[in-house]
Structure 1
Amino acid sequence: MDAGRASEAKRTTVERRSDRELVVTRSFDAPARIVFEAWTKPELFKQWWVPKSMGMFLRSCEMDVRVGGGYRLVFGHDGSNPAEFFGRYLEVTPHSRLVWTNDEGGEGGPVTTVTFEEKGGKTLLVMRELYPSKEAAGAGAADAMSEQFEQLDELLATLQGAA
Protein backbone atom coordinates (compact mmCIF):
# COMPACT_ATOMS: atom_id res chain seq x y z
CA MET A 1 0.00 0.00 0.00
CA ASP A 2 2.83 2.43 0.79
CA ALA A 3 4.39 1.79 -2.64
CA GLY A 4 1.10 2.75 -4.25
CA ARG A 5 0.97 5.97 -2.28
CA ALA A 6 4.57 6.80 -3.19
CA SER A 7 3.80 6.24 -6.86
CA GLU A 8 0.67 8.38 -6.66
CA ALA A 9 2.56 11.18 -4.88
CA LYS A 10 5.06 11.40 -7.75
CA ARG A 11 2.43 11.54 -10.47
CA THR A 12 2.46 14.71 -12.52
CA THR A 13 -0.96 16.30 -12.83
CA VAL A 14 -1.75 18.73 -15.62
CA GLU A 15 -4.96 20.69 -15.26
CA ARG A 16 -6.55 23.44 -17.32
CA ARG A 17 -7.93 25.74 -14.58
CA SER A 18 -9.50 28.22 -16.99
CA ASP A 19 -9.38 29.23 -20.64
CA ARG A 20 -6.11 31.04 -19.90
CA GLU A 21 -4.42 29.04 -17.10
CA LEU A 22 -2.60 25.72 -17.10
CA VAL A 23 -1.43 24.22 -13.77
CA VAL A 24 1.10 21.40 -13.46
CA THR A 25 1.67 19.79 -10.04
CA ARG A 26 4.23 17.24 -8.88
CA SER A 27 5.73 16.14 -5.57
CA PHE A 28 9.48 15.48 -5.44
CA ASP A 29 11.33 13.46 -2.83
CA ALA A 30 13.91 16.20 -2.21
CA PRO A 31 14.16 19.40 -0.17
CA ALA A 32 12.98 22.64 -1.81
CA ARG A 33 16.54 24.00 -1.82
CA ILE A 34 17.74 21.23 -4.15
CA VAL A 35 14.65 21.36 -6.39
CA PHE A 36 15.03 25.15 -6.68
CA GLU A 37 18.71 24.77 -7.63
CA ALA A 38 17.74 22.33 -10.40
CA TRP A 39 15.52 25.10 -11.85
CA THR A 40 18.05 27.93 -11.45
CA LYS A 41 21.54 26.51 -12.12
CA PRO A 42 22.22 26.07 -15.85
CA GLU A 43 24.47 23.04 -15.36
CA LEU A 44 21.61 21.23 -13.58
CA PHE A 45 18.74 22.60 -15.68
CA LYS A 46 20.39 21.29 -18.88
CA GLN A 47 20.28 17.76 -17.48
CA TRP A 48 16.49 17.50 -17.25
CA TRP A 49 14.63 20.18 -19.20
CA VAL A 50 14.38 18.68 -22.70
CA PRO A 51 12.38 15.40 -22.87
CA LYS A 52 14.74 12.64 -24.04
CA SER A 53 12.00 11.04 -26.15
CA MET A 54 12.05 14.09 -28.42
CA GLY A 55 15.63 13.33 -29.51
CA MET A 56 16.66 16.94 -28.91
CA PHE A 57 19.23 18.45 -26.62
CA LEU A 58 19.78 21.82 -24.99
CA ARG A 59 22.50 23.50 -27.07
CA SER A 60 22.87 26.42 -24.70
CA CYS A 61 21.35 27.56 -21.45
CA GLU A 62 21.89 31.09 -20.18
CA MET A 63 20.21 32.03 -16.93
CA ASP A 64 20.62 35.24 -14.94
CA VAL A 65 18.24 34.27 -12.16
CA ARG A 66 17.44 37.57 -10.46
CA VAL A 67 14.57 40.04 -10.75
CA GLY A 68 15.04 41.71 -14.14
CA GLY A 69 17.56 39.08 -15.25
CA GLY A 70 16.98 37.07 -18.38
CA TYR A 71 17.19 33.54 -19.69
CA ARG A 72 17.72 32.05 -23.13
CA LEU A 73 17.39 28.34 -23.94
CA VAL A 74 18.49 27.11 -27.36
CA PHE A 75 17.64 23.53 -28.27
CA GLY A 76 17.16 21.26 -31.25
CA HIS A 77 18.19 18.09 -33.08
CA ASP A 78 21.60 17.58 -34.67
CA GLY A 79 21.70 19.42 -37.99
CA SER A 80 18.36 21.16 -37.44
CA ASN A 81 17.56 24.81 -37.03
CA PRO A 82 17.54 25.55 -33.32
CA ALA A 83 14.46 26.66 -31.39
CA GLU A 84 14.70 29.22 -28.63
CA PHE A 85 12.84 30.06 -25.44
CA PHE A 86 13.69 33.34 -23.76
CA GLY A 87 12.32 35.87 -21.34
CA ARG A 88 13.01 37.65 -18.08
CA TYR A 89 12.55 36.92 -14.41
CA LEU A 90 9.86 38.96 -12.66
CA GLU A 91 10.17 37.38 -9.18
CA VAL A 92 12.90 35.29 -7.58
CA THR A 93 12.42 34.12 -4.00
CA PRO A 94 15.10 31.51 -3.24
CA HIS A 95 13.78 28.03 -2.57
CA SER A 96 10.12 29.04 -2.80
CA ARG A 97 9.08 30.98 -5.94
CA LEU A 98 10.10 31.84 -9.51
CA VAL A 99 8.11 33.95 -11.98
CA TRP A 100 9.22 34.60 -15.55
CA THR A 101 7.96 35.77 -18.92
CA ASN A 102 8.01 33.67 -22.08
CA ASP A 103 8.85 36.26 -24.72
CA GLU A 104 9.61 34.06 -27.73
CA GLY A 105 5.96 34.29 -28.81
CA GLY A 106 5.85 38.08 -28.56
CA GLU A 107 3.08 39.52 -26.45
CA GLY A 108 1.16 36.23 -26.72
CA GLY A 109 3.50 34.36 -24.41
CA PRO A 110 2.47 33.18 -20.95
CA VAL A 111 3.82 34.24 -17.59
CA THR A 112 5.07 31.18 -15.70
CA THR A 113 5.02 30.93 -11.90
CA VAL A 114 6.66 28.01 -10.11
CA THR A 115 6.28 27.54 -6.36
CA PHE A 116 8.28 25.13 -4.21
CA GLU A 117 6.62 24.10 -0.94
CA GLU A 118 8.64 21.84 1.35
CA LYS A 119 6.98 19.46 3.79
CA GLY A 120 8.94 16.78 5.62
CA GLY A 121 11.89 16.87 3.24
CA LYS A 122 9.66 16.57 0.15
CA THR A 123 8.76 19.40 -2.20
CA LEU A 124 5.39 20.10 -3.74
CA LEU A 125 6.03 21.94 -7.00
CA VAL A 126 3.20 23.86 -8.64
CA MET A 127 3.81 25.44 -12.05
CA ARG A 128 1.20 27.85 -13.39
CA GLU A 129 1.20 29.24 -16.90
CA LEU A 130 -1.11 32.22 -17.40
CA TYR A 131 -1.71 33.12 -21.04
CA PRO A 132 -2.93 36.53 -22.24
CA SER A 133 -5.82 34.95 -24.17
CA LYS A 134 -7.75 31.73 -24.70
CA GLU A 135 -6.23 31.43 -28.19
CA ALA A 136 -2.66 31.68 -26.89
CA ALA A 137 -3.36 29.01 -24.25
CA GLY A 138 -4.04 26.38 -26.92
CA ALA A 139 -0.37 26.16 -27.89
CA GLY A 140 1.12 24.86 -24.59
CA ALA A 141 3.61 22.00 -24.23
CA ALA A 142 1.83 20.28 -21.34
CA ASP A 143 2.37 16.77 -22.73
CA ALA A 144 6.13 17.03 -22.28
CA MET A 145 5.93 18.05 -18.61
CA SER A 146 5.42 14.52 -17.25
CA GLU A 147 8.57 13.30 -18.96
CA GLN A 148 10.53 16.39 -17.96
CA PHE A 149 9.51 15.94 -14.33
CA GLU A 150 10.50 12.24 -14.43
CA GLN A 151 13.92 13.36 -15.64
CA LEU A 152 14.07 15.98 -12.87
CA ASP A 153 13.17 13.29 -10.34
CA GLU A 154 16.11 11.17 -11.55
CA LEU A 155 18.49 14.14 -11.30
CA LEU A 156 17.28 14.97 -7.77
CA ALA A 157 17.93 11.38 -6.65
CA THR A 158 21.48 11.66 -8.01
CA LEU A 159 22.05 15.04 -6.33
CA GLN A 160 20.78 13.76 -2.99
CA GLY A 161 22.98 10.67 -3.25
CA ALA A 162 26.02 12.90 -3.82
CA ALA A 163 25.19 15.18 -0.88
Structure 2
Amino acid sequence: MELEGDREIVIARTFNAPARIVFDAWTKPEHVSRWWAPRSRGVSVVTCDADIHVGGEYRYVLRLDTGKEFAFSGKYTEVLPYSRLVYTEIFEPTASGAQPGDAELIVTVTFDEQGGKTHLVSRSRCPSKEVRDAILASGMEHGMRETMDQLEELVGSLR
Protein backbone atom coordinates (compact mmCIF):
# COMPACT_ATOMS: atom_id res chain seq x y z
CA MET A 1 0.00 0.00 0.00
CA GLU A 2 1.22 3.49 -0.86
CA LEU A 3 -0.08 6.98 -0.30
CA GLU A 4 -0.09 9.48 -3.16
CA GLY A 5 -0.60 13.12 -2.34
CA ASP A 6 -2.90 13.94 0.55
CA ARG A 7 -5.96 12.05 -0.65
CA GLU A 8 -5.05 8.80 -2.45
CA ILE A 9 -4.51 5.28 -1.21
CA VAL A 10 -2.93 2.94 -3.78
CA ILE A 11 -2.85 -0.84 -3.54
CA ALA A 12 -1.06 -2.96 -6.15
CA ARG A 13 -0.72 -6.71 -6.55
CA THR A 14 0.30 -9.07 -9.36
CA PHE A 15 -1.74 -12.25 -9.76
CA ASN A 16 -0.66 -15.38 -11.59
CA ALA A 17 -3.81 -15.44 -13.72
CA PRO A 18 -5.24 -13.74 -16.79
CA ALA A 19 -7.13 -10.45 -16.39
CA ARG A 20 -10.45 -12.16 -17.15
CA ILE A 21 -10.18 -14.30 -14.02
CA VAL A 22 -8.96 -11.48 -11.77
CA PHE A 23 -11.67 -9.10 -13.06
CA ASP A 24 -14.39 -11.69 -12.48
CA ALA A 25 -13.08 -12.39 -8.97
CA TRP A 26 -13.13 -8.63 -8.26
CA THR A 27 -16.66 -8.06 -9.59
CA LYS A 28 -18.90 -11.14 -9.46
CA PRO A 29 -20.83 -11.35 -6.18
CA GLU A 30 -20.33 -15.11 -5.85
CA HIS A 31 -16.56 -14.49 -5.86
CA VAL A 32 -16.44 -11.18 -3.96
CA SER A 33 -18.23 -12.77 -1.01
CA ARG A 34 -15.33 -15.23 -0.70
CA TRP A 35 -12.49 -12.71 -0.36
CA TRP A 36 -13.72 -9.20 0.44
CA ALA A 37 -13.75 -9.43 4.28
CA PRO A 38 -10.67 -10.12 6.44
CA ARG A 39 -11.41 -13.54 7.96
CA SER A 40 -8.82 -13.28 10.75
CA ARG A 41 -10.79 -10.37 12.19
CA GLY A 42 -14.01 -12.37 12.36
CA VAL A 43 -15.61 -10.47 9.48
CA SER A 44 -17.88 -12.14 6.94
CA VAL A 45 -19.78 -10.93 3.89
CA VAL A 46 -23.51 -11.48 4.48
CA THR A 47 -24.91 -9.65 1.44
CA CYS A 48 -23.14 -9.05 -1.83
CA ASP A 49 -25.09 -7.40 -4.64
CA ALA A 50 -23.57 -5.86 -7.76
CA ASP A 51 -25.00 -4.71 -11.08
CA ILE A 52 -21.81 -4.23 -13.06
CA HIS A 53 -22.45 -1.70 -15.81
CA VAL A 54 -22.15 2.08 -16.06
CA GLY A 55 -24.78 3.45 -13.70
CA GLY A 56 -25.15 0.10 -11.94
CA GLU A 57 -24.87 -0.09 -8.18
CA TYR A 58 -23.28 -2.43 -5.67
CA ARG A 59 -23.68 -3.00 -1.94
CA TYR A 60 -21.71 -5.34 0.30
CA VAL A 61 -22.92 -5.88 3.88
CA LEU A 62 -20.34 -7.24 6.30
CA ARG A 63 -20.84 -8.69 9.77
CA LEU A 64 -18.39 -8.73 12.64
CA ASP A 65 -18.24 -11.76 14.94
CA THR A 66 -20.04 -9.53 17.49
CA GLY A 67 -23.05 -9.40 15.16
CA LYS A 68 -22.59 -5.74 14.27
CA GLU A 69 -23.10 -5.01 10.57
CA PHE A 70 -21.76 -2.32 8.27
CA ALA A 71 -21.77 -1.87 4.51
CA PHE A 72 -19.97 -0.44 1.52
CA SER A 73 -21.96 0.76 -1.47
CA GLY A 74 -21.57 2.79 -4.60
CA LYS A 75 -22.18 3.24 -8.29
CA TYR A 76 -20.13 2.19 -11.33
CA THR A 77 -19.11 5.15 -13.49
CA GLU A 78 -16.80 3.30 -15.90
CA VAL A 79 -16.71 -0.40 -16.77
CA LEU A 80 -14.21 -1.77 -19.29
CA PRO A 81 -14.35 -5.55 -18.82
CA TYR A 82 -11.02 -7.17 -17.94
CA SER A 83 -9.29 -3.78 -18.08
CA ARG A 84 -10.65 -0.97 -15.88
CA LEU A 85 -13.34 -0.11 -13.35
CA VAL A 86 -14.22 3.24 -11.81
CA TYR A 87 -16.81 3.42 -9.05
CA THR A 88 -17.83 5.41 -6.03
CA GLU A 89 -17.61 3.95 -2.55
CA ILE A 90 -19.44 4.99 0.59
CA PHE A 91 -18.91 3.38 3.99
CA GLU A 92 -22.22 2.85 5.78
CA PRO A 93 -21.33 2.30 9.44
CA THR A 94 -24.89 1.38 10.40
CA ALA A 95 -25.75 -0.75 7.34
CA SER A 96 -29.00 1.22 7.16
CA GLY A 97 -28.07 2.82 3.87
CA ALA A 98 -25.97 5.72 2.71
CA GLN A 99 -26.78 9.08 4.26
CA PRO A 100 -26.43 12.54 2.73
CA GLY A 101 -23.00 13.88 3.53
CA ASP A 102 -21.34 10.46 3.79
CA ALA A 103 -17.75 10.57 2.56
CA GLU A 104 -17.66 9.28 -1.01
CA LEU A 105 -14.46 7.83 -2.42
CA ILE A 106 -13.70 7.42 -6.11
CA VAL A 107 -12.05 4.05 -6.73
CA THR A 108 -10.21 3.27 -9.98
CA VAL A 109 -9.06 -0.30 -10.53
CA THR A 110 -6.91 -1.33 -13.49
CA PHE A 111 -6.15 -4.87 -14.64
CA ASP A 112 -3.00 -5.01 -16.78
CA GLU A 113 -2.35 -8.48 -18.21
CA GLN A 114 1.09 -9.45 -19.48
CA GLY A 115 2.38 -12.95 -20.02
CA GLY A 116 -0.63 -14.59 -18.40
CA LYS A 117 -0.23 -12.55 -15.20
CA THR A 118 -2.34 -9.58 -14.16
CA HIS A 119 -1.07 -6.51 -12.36
CA LEU A 120 -3.97 -4.96 -10.44
CA VAL A 121 -3.80 -1.39 -9.17
CA SER A 122 -6.58 0.03 -6.99
CA ARG A 123 -6.57 3.80 -6.37
CA SER A 124 -8.97 5.19 -3.79
CA ARG A 125 -9.32 8.96 -3.99
CA CYS A 126 -10.71 10.36 -0.76
CA PRO A 127 -12.64 13.65 -0.55
CA SER A 128 -10.10 15.01 1.95
CA LYS A 129 -6.89 14.21 3.80
CA GLU A 130 -8.95 13.85 6.99
CA VAL A 131 -11.11 11.13 5.44
CA ARG A 132 -8.02 9.36 4.11
CA ASP A 133 -6.36 9.49 7.51
CA ALA A 134 -9.50 8.16 9.24
CA ILE A 135 -9.59 5.23 6.80
CA LEU A 136 -5.94 4.46 7.49
CA ALA A 137 -6.49 4.68 11.26
CA SER A 138 -9.30 2.11 11.00
CA GLY A 139 -6.81 -0.67 10.19
CA MET A 140 -7.41 -0.60 6.46
CA GLU A 141 -3.82 -1.51 5.57
CA HIS A 142 -3.86 -4.81 7.47
CA GLY A 143 -7.36 -5.60 6.21
CA MET A 144 -6.42 -4.91 2.59
CA ARG A 145 -3.28 -7.01 2.83
CA GLU A 146 -5.32 -9.93 4.14
CA THR A 147 -8.12 -9.55 1.59
CA MET A 148 -5.57 -9.36 -1.24
CA ASP A 149 -4.10 -12.64 0.05
CA GLN A 150 -7.61 -14.11 0.06
CA LEU A 151 -8.21 -12.80 -3.47
CA GLU A 152 -4.96 -14.41 -4.60
CA GLU A 153 -6.08 -17.72 -3.10
CA LEU A 154 -9.46 -17.46 -4.84
CA VAL A 155 -7.90 -16.50 -8.19
CA GLY A 156 -5.66 -19.57 -7.95
CA SER A 157 -8.70 -21.78 -7.46
CA LEU A 158 -10.46 -20.27 -10.51
CA ARG A 159 -7.61 -20.94 -12.95
TM-score, normalised via structure 2 length: 0.88
Give the drift of 1:159. Answer: 0.7
Equivalence for 2:28:
41
CA distance in 2, matches of 1:89, 1:115: 14
| Gapped regions of structure 1 (runs ≥ 5) | 1-13
Equivalence for 2:14:
27
Equivalence for 1:149:
148
| 1:135–1:79 distance in 2 versus 1, CA, 3 Å | closer
**Cα deviations across residues 105-135 of structure 1 (Å, max 9, x unaligned)?**
6452211110000000000000000011111
| Gapped regions of structure 2 (runs ≥ 5) | 93-100
**Residues 84-103 of structure 1: pairs in structure 2 closer than 5 A:** 84-103=71-90
Aligned: 1:136 with 2:123: no
Give the drift of 1:78. Answer: 4.6
In structure 2, give the amino acid aligned to 1:142: E
Equivalence for 2:57:
70
Given that 1:15 and 1:24 are in contact with CA atoms closer than 8 Å, whether structure 2 keeps it comes out as: yes
What is the percentage of aligned positions where both structures have the same residue?
48
Equivalenced residue count is 147
In structure 2, give the amino acid aligned to 1:76: R
Given that 1:109 and 1:136 are in contact with CA atoms closer than 8 Å, whether structure 2 keeps it comes out as: no
Give the drift of 1:154. Answer: 0.7
TM-score, normalised via structure 1 length: 0.86
- The SS at the match of 1:38 is helix
Runs of 4+ in 1 over 6 A off after TM superposition: none
**Cα deviations across residues 61-104 of structure 1 (Å, max 9, x unaligned)?**
00001110000111113552310111111111000111111133
Aligned: 1:53 with 2:33: no
Equivalence for 1:124:
119
CA RMSD between the two structures: 1.3
